[in-house]
Amino acid sequence: MSVVEALEGDWNQTSSENFGLFLKSIGAGEQAAAKADIQPHSQKWVVDDGGKVKLTRRNSRTSVTTDFKLGEPVEETLLEGGATTKCTFEVEGDNVVSKGNFNGVPCVSKWYLVDGNLQMEFYAEDKPETKAVKKFEKTE
Confidence grade of residue 140 (pLDDT, cut at 50, 70, 90): low
What's the pLDDT tens digit per position in 37-87?
566 789 999 999 888 999 999 988 888 899 999 999 998 876 666 667 889
Q: Which domain holds residue 104?
A: 3-138
pLDDT at 88 over 80: yes
What CATH number should be reported for the domain holding residue 33? 2.40.128.20
What's the pLDDT tens digit per position in 98-124?
998 877 888 899 999 999 999 999 888
- Count the domains in the chain: 1
Q: Which residue has the higher pLDDT, 92 or 23?
A: 92
pLDDT of residue 14: 93
What pTM value is reported for the model? 0.87
Per DSSP, the residues of the chain read --HHHHT-EEEEEEEEESHHHHHHHTT--HHHHHHTTTS--EEEEEE-TTSEEEEEEE-SS-EEEEEEETTSEEEEE-TTT--EEEEEEEEETTEEEEEEEETTEEEEEEEEEETTEEEEEEEETTEEEEEEEEEEEE--
